[in-house]
Amino acid sequence: MGLAAWRWLRRSRGVPRRRLHTEVESEIDRLPQRGGDRVQGPRQGVGPLYQRRYTVRIAGSPLTAAELIDRVAADLNAASPVEVAVFDKTSGASRPLAIGDEYVVHMPGPWNCPVRVVERAPASFRLVTLSGHLEAGEIEFRVDEAREDGLVFIIESWARSGDRLAEILYEGVGIAKEMQLHMWTHFCTRVAELSGGTMIGDVEVQTERVDVADAGQGQQLVEHAVTAAFARTFALAARLRDRPLHPKGLVFDAALVLHGTSQHWGVPFLDERTELRGEVRLSRAIGLPPPLPDLLGLALRWRQPSTGDAGAEATAELLLATTGHTTLGRHLLRPATHWSPTFYGSLLAYQAGDRRILLGAVARRHQTVPADLAALARSVDEQPLLLDLVVATGFGPWERFGELRILGPARGDDHESMRFNPARNPIRGLPPAGLFQQVRGPTYDAVQHTARRTGDPRPAQRRQPERTAP
């Protein structure tokens, strides 16, 4: 395990990861129903569906595609990182690999992973998982002929977690995900060496994920109970105060200058270089007097560019609040006494491919703005408030992907409050992840419905932005 951890730190965290952008559910539906006992296909799994593809390009190999796949099939341990996974053949002739052969993949921890060979072609073979495996699905190993006499070795899988524990290890903690990434990138690198040729570039890792609406009855009951508790609590609070949280705030025009990060996320908001216009509302969550610390909120709305076939633009919203920025602190709300400098985090996660991420905004240290609305209005009148837009995985470092410029003059929203609901106005390519993200949409709907019923029944009149007096 020490060797595995060292190799993971040295290699896996630098592996470029991209999204496939394919119809994963339709891919899974095209897989044949496998016969035989103990087969654990993707239809028997739990949690999201994943299609994963690991690709390595090879130049100068003296082998044909069929010869290379034969060499891999003759001894799977020759390419496998044996400190993580050892293939032990438990059924079938010793060599060569054939349909019906079974292996147990021994891995660190209290689990082994049985598989069966279900397809064997001249340049490929495919395994299906059996009962007791961490995953439920299929995995294919193939070699394609590339242009200019090169070869392309590909490992492609279609799978879900085998049970709830495996889902926690993959989705929640991420241990299984990183172990799997290390295993198959190492496998691809070793295959390139076994080919006698030269690996071109890095191993390319592509993943696509889709949620499946097949939660068990117990999980559905928990989700319904939590949703009802939050929605009813905040709806009751909305009868006492129009906004249970963030009652008063200031609205500003905003510019988002995006430039991407050092890695590709497969999400336009994180990858593209562009400038967008929007609005931002800054507010105090509890409404305590300004000398006291409060949870500060930053609500951002902008128009997403059209995406060709998608046609029209769509509104996107992002809600941030003052949190810590450390690995633990980014998951905890943190009262603050300044609009700037401070850190605003999403607190709740989003799904980018097979990774859960958090978004944030860092108000720069050269601007000091006390956390009261009058001081904020004066400061932004004098100069724009600048924040760095950042992204991170649950345990990874923050990386800057753009700049948020908050522009004066300030506008009050006492008479026509801006209402936000990111569940109705999602960021394209960043679906919300986790139970509390699922609760957020119905809770906001309940609060805003209550506010409309208890407020002025007349439709709000469009008004000109008004300057807030300092």
Question: Could you tell me the CATH number of the domain that includes residue 66?
Answer: 3.30.530.20
Domain count, the chain: 2
Question: Average pLDDT in the 431-456 region?
Answer: 57
**Per-residue pLDDT tens digits for 257-281:** 999 998 888 888 999 999 999 999 9
Q: Do 47 and 192 fall into the same domain?
A: yes
- What span, in angstroms and rounded, lies between the C-alpha atoms of 113 and 105? 5
Under 8 Å between Cβ of 400 and 261 = yes
Q: How confident is the model at residue 457 (pLDDT cuts 50, 70, 90)?
A: very low
Lowest mean pLDDT among 140-149, 231-240, 254-263, 376-385: 231-240
Question: Nearest Cα to 56, choosing from 214, 238, 169, 187?
Answer: 187
- What span, in angstroms and rounded, lies between the C-alpha atoms of 400 and 391? 7
Q: Do 299 and 270 fall into the same domain?
A: yes
- The last residue of a domain, from among 189, 210, 231: 210
Contacts of 26 (CB under 8 A, 6+ apart): none
Q: What pLDDT, on the 0 to 100 scale, is given for residue 262?
A: 86
Which residue has better confidence, 48 or 194? 194
How many residues are present in the chain? 470
Q: What pLDDT, on the 0 to 100 scale, is given for residue 142?
A: 96
Question: Average pLDDT in the 43-52 region?
Answer: 81
Q: How confident is the model at residue 465 (pLDDT cuts 50, 70, 90)?
A: very low
Q: Do 268 and 417 fall into the same domain?
A: yes
**63: in domain:** yes
CATH number of domain containing 405: 2.40.180.10
> Has residue 320 got a pLDDT over 50?
yes
Lowest mean pLDDT among 24-38, 255-269, 422-436: 24-38
- What span, in angstroms and rounded, lies between the C-alpha atoms of 450 and 213? 29
Q: How confident is the model at residue 121 (pLDDT cuts 50, 70, 90)?
A: very high
Residue type, 295: L
Please report, for residues 73, 101, 127, 158, 188, the alpha-carbon distance to residue 114 in angstroms, rounded to integers and kept in the order given.
Answer: 17, 11, 10, 16, 21
Which residue has better confidence, 177 or 444? 177
Rounded to the nearest 10 degrees, the angle between the axes of helix 217-240 and helix 435-454 is 30
Strand spans (E) along 305-424: 314-322, 338-340, 342-345, 350-352, 355-363, 369-370, 385-393, 399-412
Q: What pLDDT, on the 0 to 100 scale, is given for residue 323?
A: 95
Q: What pLDDT, on the 0 to 100 scale, is given for residue 159?
A: 86
Q: How confident is the model at residue 256 (pLDDT cuts 50, 70, 90)?
A: very high
- What span, in angstroms and rounded, lies between the C-alpha atoms of 452 and 242? 9
Which residue has better confidence, 236 or 282? 282
Q: How confident is the model at residue 169 (pLDDT cuts 50, 70, 90)?
A: low
CB atoms within 10 A of CB 462: 6
- The last residue of a domain, from among 210, 237, 265: 210
**267: in domain:** yes
Lowest mean pLDDT among 256-265, 321-330, 354-363, 406-415: 406-415
Q: Are strands 314-322 and 355-363 parallel, antiparallel or unpaired?
A: unpaired
Task: Give the residue numbers spanning the domain of 442.
Answer: 217-454
Q: Hey, which of 193-197, 243-247, 264-268 has the most confident mean pLDDT? A: 193-197
- What span, in angstroms and rounded, lies between the C-alpha atoms of 458 and 36? 66
Q: Do 136 and 244 fall into the same domain?
A: no
> Residue 215 burial by CB count (10 A; 0-12/13-18/19+): exposed, middle or buried?
middle
Q: What pLDDT, on the 0 to 100 scale, is given for residue 199?
A: 93
Q: Do 302 and 415 fall into the same domain?
A: yes
**467: in domain:** no
- For 3, the 3-state DSSP assignment is helix
Q: What pLDDT, on the 0 to 100 scale, is given for residue 81?
A: 86
**310: in domain:** yes
Under 8 Å between Cβ of 404 and 386 = yes
> Has residue 167 got a pLDDT over 80?
no
Q: Do 194 and 230 fall into the same domain?
A: no
Tokens standing for 170?
């993959």
Tokens 């562009």, residue?
Answer: 274
Reduce the secondary structure of 407-427 to three states and give it as a string.
EEEEEECCCCCCCCCCCCCCC
Under 8 Å between Cβ of 16 and 266 = no
Q: What pLDDT, on the 0 to 100 scale, is given for residue 37?
A: 80
Q: Hey, which of 149-158, 209-218, 222-231 has the most confident mean pLDDT? A: 149-158
Residue type, 137: G
Cis, bond preceding 244 (omega within 30 deg of 0):
no
CB atoms within 10 A of CB 143: 26
DSSP labels for 274-305? EEEEEEEEEEESS---TTS-B-EEEEEEEEEP
Q: Do 120 and 11 fall into the same domain?
A: yes
Q: Do 148 and 225 fall into the same domain?
A: no
Residue type, 394: G
Q: Do 225 and 167 fall into the same domain?
A: no
Question: Average pLDDT in the 388-397 region?
Answer: 90
Lowest mean pLDDT among 73-77, 174-178, 459-463: 459-463
Q: How confident is the model at residue 51 (pLDDT cuts 50, 70, 90)?
A: confident
- What span, in angstroms and rounded, lies between the C-alpha atoms of 224 and 401? 36
Q: Are strands 102-106 and 112-121 parallel, antiparallel or unpaired?
A: antiparallel
- What span, in angstroms and rounded, lies between the C-alpha atoms of 280 and 253? 6
